[in-house]
């Protein structure tokens, strides 16, 4: 069964600090992994996407890494801002022969305090 | 460019009343369409997906139904709402033919409160 597990479930940090969110998956065959940001009461918005051959991808202060061997990904946020407060969702999609329905993690709720 | 519209944004309904949430996509053809529900503090749960007009697949047994009367229109309905139907409902679309699958574009969501 395809699964995506995220940790921690919630995280509180001070403005300006860095943080790292984790994602472990068992989706097979693997196609790509995306990180979404969901502001409270809004729809999720894609931050990064990585395929099998990519180890790291940056989008401003967001840097995602992927280890396809251990089936782990991380999202690193540098110099956090209040606007980073949101839920961060890891989504993994299967390749040919697998389900084309993406598998969602339950998200990490990040709160950035001033 | 493609856009997705979802309405109403907020809805308060009594138990036993009907429900209709609508979603339309513009700027693309033959999209895959999805309805997700997000309960408070929980992850996104896939309710229905559709790969074409009149083609609906249900992921979980429930009190809800979905219909796709037109290529870019997706409707979520219920004949009689339950308290447990309360939540945040998200419509999403993805391109039909893609090189990299799984690219989902979400609407702004509909907050349903059943009293």
Amino acid A95: pLDDT:
78
Task: Compute the half-sphere exposure of residue B34: CA atoms within 13 Å on the CB side of its CA.
Answer: 25
Could you report the per-residue pLDDT of A6-29, keeping only the tens digit for each? 999 999 999 999 999 999 999 888
What is the arithmetic mean of pLDDT over A90-98?
83
Rounded to an integer, what distance in angstroms lies between the CA atom of residue B22 and that of residue B29? 18
Cα B103 off chain centre by:
16
Determine contact: A21 vs chain B, CB below 8 A.
Answer: no
Could you report the per-residue pLDDT of B19-78, keeping only the tens digit for each? 999 999 999 989 999 999 998 777 888 999 998 999 998 887 678 999 999 999 999 999
- Greater confidence, B110 or A93? B110
Contact residues on chain A for B46, CB-CB shorter than 8 A = 101, 104
Best CA proximity match to B71, nearest among B23, B18, B7, B37: B23
Closest-CA distance, A34 to chain B, in angstroms, reads: 8
Question: Secondary structure of chain B: what % helix, strand, coil (to 5)?
Answer: 5, 55, 40
Q: Do A102 and B104 touch (CB under 8 A)?
A: yes
Residue A100 confidence (pLDDT) above 80: no
Residue that is written with structure tokens 């009293």 in the block: B115
Cα B54 off chain centre by:
15
Rounded to an integer, what distance in angstroms lies between the CA atom of residue B45 and that of residue A101? 12
């Amino acid at each position: 069964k395809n699964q995506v597990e995220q940790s921690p479930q919630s995280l509180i940090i001070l403005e300006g600090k860095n943080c790292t969110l984790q994602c472990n998956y068992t989706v097979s065959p693997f196609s790509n992994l995306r990180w979404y940001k969901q502001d409270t009461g809004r729809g999720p918005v894609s931050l990064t996407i990585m395929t099998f051959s990519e180890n790291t991808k940056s989008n401003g202060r967001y840097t995602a890494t992927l280890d396809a061997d251990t089936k782990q990904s991380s999202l690193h946020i540098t110099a956090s801002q209040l606007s980073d407060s949101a839920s961060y969702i890891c989504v993994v999609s299967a390749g040919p022969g697998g389900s084309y329905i993406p598998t969602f993690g339950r998200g990490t709720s990040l709160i950035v305090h001033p | 460019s493609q856009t997705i519209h979802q309405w109403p944004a907020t809805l308060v309904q009594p138990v036993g009343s009907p429900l209709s949430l609508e979603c339309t996509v513009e700027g693309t053809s033959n999209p895959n369409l999805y309805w997700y529900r997000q309960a408070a503090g929980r992850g996104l749960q896939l309710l229905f997906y559709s790969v074409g007009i009149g083609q609906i697949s249900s992921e979980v047994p429930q009190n809800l139904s979905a219909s796709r009367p037109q290529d870019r229109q997706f409707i979520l309905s219920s004949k009689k709402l339950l308290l447990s139907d309360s939540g945040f409902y998200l419509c999403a679309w993805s391109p039909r033919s893609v090189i990299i699958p799984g690219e989902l574009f979400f609407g702004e969501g509909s907050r349903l409160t059943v009293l």
